[in-house]
Amino acid sequence: MFGYIASMKAKPGKRDEVVALLVGGVENLRQHGCESYVVATSATDDDTIWVTEVWRSEEDHAASLELPETRKAIGEAMPLLTGEFTGQATSIAGGLGV
The residue type of 83 is G
DSSP 56: S
Based on the shown chain and the rule CB under 8 A, indicate whether residue 5 belongs to the binding site for its own copies.
Answer: yes
Based on the shown chain and the rule CB under 8 A, indicate whether residue 63 belongs to the binding site for its own copies.
Answer: no
**Segment contacting its own copies (CB under 8 A): 60-68, 71-79, 86-94?**
86-94
10 Å Cβ neighbour count for 91? 8
Strand partners, 6: 51, 87
CB of 37 to its own copies, least distance (A): 4
Of the candidates 12, 44, 66, 79, which one interacts with its own copies according to CB under 8 A? Answer: 44
CB of 61 to its own copies, least distance (A): 11
Based on the shown chain and the rule CB under 8 A, indicate whether residue 27 belongs to the binding site for its own copies.
Answer: yes
Based on the shown chain and the rule CB under 8 A, indicate whether residue 93 belongs to the binding site for its own copies.
Answer: yes
- Three-class HEC string of 65-78: CCCHHHHHHHHHHH
- Distance (Å, rounded) from C-alpha 36 to C-alpha 88? 16
CB of 75 to its own copies, least distance (A): 20
